[in-house]
Structure 1
Amino acid sequence: MFTLTRRHFLMTSAATVAAAAISAPAFATDPILIGVPTAQSGPVGVADQADWLNGVTMAVKEINAAGGVNGRMLETRVVDIDLLTPEGTVAAFQSLVEQGVQALAHSFAIIPQPAMDVAATTGVPYLHGNTSQASLDLVKSDPQKYRNIFQIDVAETYYGAGFVKFLSNQKAAGWVPKNNKVHIVQEQIGYTQVISKATQAAIAASGGEWEQGPVTDIQFPVADWTPIIQALKEADCGTIMIDHWVAAELASFAQSYVLDPVPGALVYLQYGPSQPEFLDLAGDAAEGFVWGSVIGVYADEKGMAFREAYQAKYPGTMGMVYTGSGYDTVNILAEVWKTVDPADFDAVGAAIKAISHRGVCGTYTFGNAEQTPVSYPNMTDDPEAGQAHLIFQVQDGAHTIISPSTHKQADMRPAPWM
């Protein structure tokens, strides 16, 4: 016959309490944690990652001021990340996963797979702006493993295809290029190499409308732009693409180029001028340069309201890309968390796949095999169905949208050297 002793009673009670603690859901007042890896030092990425964190912080404060998500406040967990090594990337993501975050929100990882693999081990939803076809290919290669990983913009390939489309649209609108040759200056990392190849493919597919000029290599860091500018002048192409993304170096290029330009050439600086340092460092030399981003803050009513609120909180030159995409990402998560338990990662992932969210950078949808939005006008003719590939020109010292026509603030102007 079994006799319930005091010792048996205490052991049984402790086990019951422990089991209840394991199975009990989080209290409704517990905060929802968002992990935000953020490069705070190093030679690249710091400005973009700071822009993203600012946008995330703005969204969190707005949502909390309105009562949070179903009464729960949002909190960020921020850790430094070494973008240039897989070990540094893993350490940052592992730290956040171990802190029990309900989502990971990251502007971009230069080495994508280590970050994606850490997130995949727990299934924690991970939203990123890698702008990387390699990241999308990973998701497509193993949809179960990477089921809760979402790229919040399209692949970098559209920087190439979209740029050539922009040239054709500008020509149709009245721009007369000095000739149809395109000179590409390409940096050596995978990101810029993919963009260069996509640009060359789009030129080849143009049916002779555009002709491939020289392809000139550069290596980060660029100590002296003089030989590059000399090569540009010798080729004398009507369009020049500087396929590089570091704002400080593009500012240095602009300052050197305006002293000895290729007369009449349209000069496109790819994405880097979106970072605040470009305008701050280039000064008056920035005037007339064209650049683009496959995701960026619109100049419509919603976008301008965000810009005004952002600059009131963060005075100075505003980044036009990761500020808005970080803000939109938190709002996507908050919208989903209103309907599903943040602790149920697969339910959150399924809800993200089903969402259509109109943010300050356009419309986000993820219901495809790559779990990434669509690009307008590169993938859809509907300007509200995706994210506009925005082309900017520096006009009167400010970034001004000149394309697509549905989103533009002004027409393209002849640059001072044109």
Structure 2
Amino acid sequence: MVSKVSRRKLLHMASAGTAAAAFPAPFVSGVTRAASADPILLGVPTAQTAQAGVADHQDYLNGTTLALEEINGAGGVLGRQVKAVVVDIDPLSPESGQVAINKLIDAKVHAMSCAFVFTPVPVADVSARYKAPFLWGLTQRNMTDLVAKQPDKYSHVFQTDPSEVHYGHTFPVFLKAMKDQGVWKPLNNGVHIVQEQIAYNQTISKALQASLPKSEFKLAGITDIQYPVQDWGTVIQEIKKVGAGAVMIDHWVAAEYAAFVKQYSADPLKGALVYLQYGPSQPEFLELSGPAAEGFVWSTVLGVYADEKGKAFRAKYKKRFPGIMGLCYTGNGYDTTYYLKAAWEAVGDPSNFKGVSDWIRKNSYRGVCGFMSMDNPYQECAHYPDTGDAIGAAELEKGMAQLFFQVQNNEHKIIYPDVLVENKLQKAPWW
């Protein structure tokens, strides 16, 4: 998950002064605690100047902003305003993550809320000496495995989405559903994996390879790519040579996906279903791809539903933050803030870190991205549909749905799972 990901003008805000000015009320710039009141402080490590994760982190901050504005506008929590302490973080750097958490500890925040980092253990270890509730959309089973093995040390750490292993586990299930519905007639039952080298993408690839023998599909080939991908031409020729019915591009970067779809559309493997892991969720994908994005499929284990609750959130988010909306971390930042609000109100004292963490562990929350429950050894959200993983949900309202989208008329439309579908899978231009 490595790239120079920029969201419109965001990277132009790299200077400290501009970045601080970019955060609207109710934000506390840097780590200076408000002196005029006694607010509840929410620490939000946010990538502002890094080369990776900026778009997703900005989405998360926007969702948090919207939630805080609503909460404070309605009187706050326990009669107190809630303010965010925003500190810069580089998701790729363990040292940067440790510095960011230490700044929030110095600020005496009541909780921490973050999109993700790529080196979670050093960050979680620093937070463990303070023990304020720490909620993040990490998507990494290696971290939640540690939570399960060391429950006392990480009792305060919660993953607000399912882990990345589900991208691999669920892909054959999705393919079978599309085939059985008659909306996709595969060239063959082969699956070609084009994989990036970082641990996140390797975990997804291994999970898919383990799941394929249990399905009617088989592994047709594996092609390695390395960030940054300078030219997708050789990869596309390999896709055509392998000739698999389905292709998973196991990468994540919106800008590089945009380059891929432009080249692929000009020289495709006719009839193949091409899936792009996660990255099209970032607004840059549609902005940079234009018409070339039509027909491509992607998914996310953390996404804003298109049910009544999700549509209401989408509408008010777009009003507050005009432009193409990210469909993942916008809702996650929003939901996490309201989850903490419920915990603070139930416990009655945001300074009671153990009490708040214990409440979160035992109580669920249904947000715009689905059902969140931490009542399991991993302290991560259960995945829907259940694919036999350690944490799965057989019912929609007992888990967080992995949403599969297709780009249709320059918009992302949910095509799976059936209970949340907006449109059926459409014929891709190269079919």
Given the two structures, how large is their TM-score scaled by the length of structure 1? 0.92
Aligned twin of 2:26: none
Q: Is 1:111 aligned to residue 119 of structure 2? A: yes
The 5 A counterparts of 1:292-331 are 292-331=299-338
Give 1:177 shift.
0.8
Q: Is 1:332 aligned to residue 339 of structure 2? A: yes
Aligned twin of 2:236: 229
Aligned twin of 1:244: 251
| Cα contact 1:29–1:71 (8 A) shared by 2 | no
Aligned twin of 1:415: 428
Q: Is 1:61 aligned to residue 69 of structure 2? A: yes
Give 1:141 shift.
1.6
Aligned twin of 1:364: 372
Give 1:306 shift.
0.3
Q: Residue deviations 1:82-139, cap 9 Å, x none?
A: 2222111111111111110000100001100011011111111100111000110110
Aligned twin of 2:290: 283
**Amino acid corresponding to residue 372 of structure 1 in structure 2:** E
The 5 A counterparts of 1:8-407 are 30-174=38-182, 175-206=184-215, 209-340=216-347, 341-378=349-386, 379-407=392-420
**Whole-angstrom CA distance in 1 between matches of 2:284 and 2:51:** 13
Give 1:42 shift.
2.6
**Whole-angstrom CA distance in 2 between matches of 1:257 and 1:97:** 48
| Cα contact 1:255–1:285 (8 A) shared by 2 | yes
| 3-state SS of paired residue (1:223) | coil
Give 1:386 shift.
1.0
| 3-state SS of paired residue (1:269) | strand
**Amino acid corresponding to residue 403 of structure 2 in structure 1:** L
Aligned twin of 1:11: none
**Amino acid corresponding to residue 348 of structure 1 in structure 2:** V
Give 1:29 shift.
5.6
| Cα contact 2:191–2:221 (8 A) shared by 1 | yes
**Amino acid corresponding to residue 399 of structure 2 in structure 1:** G
**Whole-angstrom CA distance in 1 between matches of 2:292 and 2:54:** 23
**Amino acid corresponding to residue 109 of structure 1 in structure 2:** V
Given the two structures, how large is their TM-score scaled by the length of structure 2? 0.89
Give 1:28 shift.
13
| 3-state SS of paired residue (1:75) | strand
**Whole-angstrom CA distance in 2 between matches of 1:393 and 1:180:** 21
**Amino acid corresponding to residue 197 of structure 1 in structure 2:** K
**Whole-angstrom CA distance in 2 between matches of 1:262 and 1:77:** 49
Give 1:383 shift.
1.0
- 161-170 or 143-152: bigger deviation: 161-170
**Amino acid corresponding to residue 405 of structure 1 in structure 2:** D
* Structure 2 runs not aligned, ≥5 long: 1-34, 387-391
RMSD value, Cα: 1.3
**Whole-angstrom CA distance in 2 between matches of 1:366 and 1:381:** 16
| Cα contact 2:302–2:328 (8 A) shared by 1 | yes
User: How high is the sequence identity, in percent, across the aligned residues?
Assistant: 51
| 3-state SS of paired residue (1:338) | helix
Query: How many pairs were matched up?
Result: 391
**Whole-angstrom CA distance in 1 between matches of 2:372 and 2:88:** 27
| Cα contact 2:50–2:89 (8 A) shared by 1 | no
**Whole-angstrom CA distance in 1 between matches of 2:170 and 2:129:** 35
* Structure 1 runs not aligned, ≥5 long: 1-26
- 270-279 or 377-386: bigger deviation: 377-386
